[in-house]
Amino acid sequence: MKAITFAGLGLAALLFGSTAVEAKTLVYCSEGSPENFTPAINTTGTSFDAARPVYNRLTEFKRGTTIVGPGLAESWDISDGGKTIVFHLRKGVKFHSVKDFKPTRDFNADDVLFSFNRQWKPDSPYFKISGGKYDYFNDMDMPSLLDTIEKKDDYTIVMKLKTANVAILANLAMDFASIASAEYADFLLKKGTPEQFDQVPVGTGPFSFVAYQKDAVIRFKANKDYWGEKPLVDDLVYAITPDATARYAKLKAGECHINAYPRPADLPEMQKDSSLKVISASGLNIAFWAFNTTKPPFDKKEVRQALTMAIDKDAIIKDVYLGAGQPAKTLIPSTMWSYNDKIVDYPYDPEKAKAALKAAGVTTPLDIDLWYMPVQRPYNPNGKRIGEMMQADLAKIGVNAKLVTYEWGEYRKRAQNGEDITAQLGWTGDNGDPDNFFFLDGCTDGKPASNNIPKWCNAEFNDLLVKARVIPDQAGRAKLYERMQEIEHDEAPEFLIAHSTVFETMRANVTGYKQSPLGTHTFEGVDIQ
Amino acid sequence: MLAYFFRRILLTIPTFVALMFATFVAIRLVPGDPVEVRVGEHGMSPERLAMFRHELGLDLPVWKQFLSYVWQLLHGDFGTSLSTQQKVLTEFLTLFPATLELSFFALMFALLIGLPTGVIAAVRRGSYFDQALMSLATIGYSMPIFWWGLLLIMFVAVNLGLTPVSGRIDLIQYYFEPVTGFMTIDALLSDQPGAFLDALHHLVLPAVVLGTVPLAVIARMTRSSMLEVLSEDYVRTARAKGLSPLRVIGLHALRNALLPVVTVIGLQTSALLAGAVLTETIFSWPGVGKWLIDSISRRDYPALQGGVMLVSTVVILVNVMVDLLYGAINPRILHGR
């Protein structure tokens, strides 16, 4: 009996012992190779996803939301009518170690200065490294927003803005604003290999970088000293798998736990498979068909409203989005704060549309050009097919739409210059702030090229847009955005098509994963059961 | 032999010049340049567009761009990738071993099955075996690689679980730094038990998929070449002398039948190296094929131009080697007869 007990204990110890030391590895089947590991010089989601485990930012999006919270800055004070923000930095935050670099100090204000100056100041020694294109820093208008960034002490940063804009706090949570180690940068500069900075990243994030093999694998290990939500796995592996069908096969075979960008056609089968989980959320995007409000007859809102009622939106979502889209009634998706759910979408009613067109004094047949997008985008799976469906619907009310398109770069340029009469386009949000969507319909002070495709300028809408940038509290801002959505709905500068639905798939034993409305992938707090 | 070698090398120069020109022009005919493809929904101000174009020399007349590209190449500089900022040569050398390893195993698969199959089909000409094999070879030759790869993944890897789905090694079980870039060799060097077998296991499906077309070609070529040789007088003489059928076929017929087969193997090797694109994409194989495709979509001019030149160099070298081998086997070629 005694012998059996000892044997049993021995076996148990062996079993528990072995499970206790076995490292937990989470495998994410990603869709491609990153350009490098410095978000500031990248533009693709693939590259941002690859660097995100390593870095933190001053502010962070709360996981699975677009709500901005503390990051490397524990708190901040806004003063001077929204033009000065003082950031109080977190103390005791450790940088990762890599093969030939061991940090000698904790994170401090110098790292913040370095990370922004690299993108902003041509005299930064790193400004020209790796091509020196800081697209997002420029796209988010940071050079025209920022006046100065200064270090008050090691743990206090004072950011002064040229014009008040509280939406900058959301910009700072974006990948391009990741904070890197200034000490590492100096070390590489002295060593004469500054390019290594963008290939072997050193940050403060939940995982530290281990190795990367182009088109094959990226390896990370859990940062045991992480200040935030601790990683629950020991190792994180990105298995680079460009083909969506192969990704699905790997997920099914258990070779990966989480799968990026499943093919919509595979979803029904995935949903039936009990070993898999499918989650979905409305994408942070919008597809629209813009009316050029500077050209007749679209300078009359009644004409725009009439055409809005002529198109069968549900048919487009069913046939082109294959159901993976939500009909849009305002510019922003329902997952965003300030979404005005009280707005009732225009009905699909060809008869009413015909009558409204007549009442607006338009004689039919009316000939228009309908520009359709030549490329597939996350918000628009098939511009041509949508164009053809619109064309057929418009014909029913006596509008002859001629389908027109150009090469994508040319298309966008011409549409931005207002050369169209009607054009499809869309938007993918950057930072989850409503301003990042509503600025699309803001007045552009007469500038010809802008993202305002309908060239619509409404004084009240624009006034509210500017006001919302200086109100520090979210509830106060939300009220203004709700009103702006009412104005926009009434004026109908665009026919709003859809927000695409984003799906993510994983093994059923994955727990704690939260889908980000921003389309990003993060793995702290994720476990395998 | 030496004179033949130099003549053959000299003949590759016009091929290189033509390639240089063709790649340079072809990528520029595709709409959108490296700067434009970076622009997202935000758009880019005309000033920034102009600044980036100037930095990349894209605002220069095309002939000037071409000349500076040729000058660079003459100095052995294949340029720097615009998307990764890495030297094109470094990227190529990192990825090429994977393509080479896959191509080698695919060729081994094609040879080990294709040669005996072709011989047996020729010996049993007109039999059901011959007809079945040749029908299969025709199917193999016309097989759409993408479909074939996915079918095998779904059936062999997912449903039967006999092989891994894709990749080069089990990423959870094994981790070692690449030394040679050849996963099988690195696995051996790593001393990790099971790593070598796992690397081989990962090679099975992609090698079968990539080797299918060459297998069909080699089998058909071996068959027709053997048929020709088997009707020669010296084979009849060998048979009349009472030699065993194995000796007649293996020693007398096959050796002579191999001559055109060697040429086909050479051509197929080039095709494997250059044409692994689809297989690499399906099996997430980090080789040069996939890299070149990505370079096209990113309009990464230096990576694409340099990559094509480097792959072409390898293909041309293989062809020269085959020519030399052929010359060694058949001395009449060396003397221009």
Q: What is the pLDDT of residues A435-468, one digit of tens each?
A: 999 999 998 755 556 789 999 999 999 999 989 9
| pLDDT greater than 70 at residue B152 | yes
Whole-complex ipTM: 0.82
Of residues A45 and A357, more confidently modeled = A357
Q: Give yes or no for a contact between A408 and A425, defined as CB atoms under 8 angstroms apart.
A: no
Rounded Cα–Cα distance for residues B301 and B303 (Å): 6
Helix axis angle for B88-123 and B195-230, nearest 10°, is: 50
Q: Which domains does chain B have, with CATH numbers?
A: 88-329 (1.10.3720.10)
Q: What is the 3-state secondary structure (H, E, C) of A186-253?
A: HHHHHHCCCCHHHHCCCCCCCEEEEEEECCCEEEEEECCCCCCCCCCCCEEEEEECCCHHHHHHHHHC
Question: Order of strands across the sheet with A73-79?
Answer: A73-79, A84-89, A156-161, A146-153
Of residues B327 and A179, more confidently modeled = A179
Residues of B in contact with A416 (CB under 8 A): 43
Asked if A408 reaches chain B (Cβ–Cβ under 8 Å), the answer is yes
Per-residue confidence band for B293, with pLDDT thresholds at 50, 70 and 90: confident
- pTM, entire model: 0.84
Q: Give yes or no for a contact between A466 and A438, defined as CB atoms under 8 angstroms apart.
A: no
Token representation of residue A82: 């929204």
Mean pLDDT of A30-37: 90
With residues binned 3-state (H G I as helix, E B as strand, rest as coil), the percentages for chain A, rounded to 5, are 35, 25, 45
Q: What pLDDT digit, counting tens, does each position of A254-276 carry?
A: 999 999 888 878 888 999 999 99
Rounded Cα–Cα distance for residues A209 and A50 (Å): 10
What rounded mean pLDDT belongs to chain B? Answer: 86
Calculate what percentage of chain B has a pLDDT beyond 90. 29
pLDDT at A3: 43
Nearest CA in chain B to A450: B43
User: Across the interface, do B284 and A239 touch by the CB < 8 Å criterion?
Assistant: yes
Q: Give yes or no for a contact between A371 and A390, defined as CB atoms under 8 angstroms apart.
A: no
> Which residue bears the tokens 């720097």?
B80
Residues ≥6 apart with Cβ < 8 Å to B113: B215, B219
Residues of B in contact with A138 (CB under 8 A): 48
User: Across the interface, do A139 and B171 touch by the CB < 8 Å criterion?
Assistant: no
- The tally of CA atoms less than 13 A away on the side-chain side of residue A243 is 23
Q: What pLDDT digit, counting tens, does each position of B271-287 carry?
A: 787 668 888 888 889 99
Return residues 157-176 of B near A (CB < 8 Å): 157-158, 161, 164-168, 171-172, 175
Task: Suggest the residue from B93, B94, B152, B284 to mutate for an interface test with chain A (most A CBs closer than 10 A).
Answer: B284
Asked if A385 reaches chain B (Cβ–Cβ under 8 Å), the answer is no
| pLDDT greater than 90 at residue A420 | yes
Secondary structure class of A115 (helix, strand, coil): helix
Chain A nearest-CA distance from B186, in A, is 14
Residues of B in contact with A245 (CB under 8 A): 150, 153, 282
User: Across the interface, do B153 and A249 touch by the CB < 8 Å criterion?
Assistant: yes
Chain A nearest-CA distance from B67, in A, is 23
Q: What pLDDT digit, counting tens, does each position of B166-222 carry?
A: 999 999 889 998 899 999 999 999 989 899 999 999 999 999 999 999 999 999 999
| pLDDT greater than 50 at residue A43 | yes
Q: Would you put residue B329 in left (φ > 0), alpha (ψ -120 to 50) or beta?
A: alpha
For residue B172, give the nearest of A27, A32, A131 by CB distance: A27
pLDDT at A509: 95
Chain A nearest-CA distance from B18, in A, is 29
Nearest to B273 by CA among B97, B20, B17: B97
For residue A407, give the nearest of B32, B40, B283 by CB distance: B32
Nearest to A481 by CA among A425, A424, A442: A442
pLDDT at A9: 41
